[in-house]
Structure 1
Amino acid sequence: MEEQKIVQRNLALQREWYGEPLGDRVRRLVVAYDISQAQLADVLGISAPMLSQVMSGRRAKIGNPSVLARMVMLERRVLTPGVAAGEKSAIDEALVQVRDSRPKVSMDTLPVDEGRAEQTALNRLRDLAVAEELSGAADLLAGRYPALADLLRRAAEES
Structure 2
Amino acid sequence: MGETTAPTPITQPTETRWLDDVEMRAWRSYVETQADLNTAIEADLRPTGLSLGDYQVLVFLSEAPDQRLRMCDLADDLQLSPSGLTRRLDGIVRRGWVERVGSDDDRRVMLAALTPEGRATLECAAPTHVDSVRRRLVDLLDEDELATLATIFDKVRTALDDA
Fold-level similarity (TM above 0.5): no
Q: Could you say which structure has the higher strand fraction?
A: 2
Report the TM-score when normalising by structure 1: 0.23
Q: Could you say which structure has the higher helix fraction?
A: 1
Report the TM-score when normalising by structure 2: 0.23
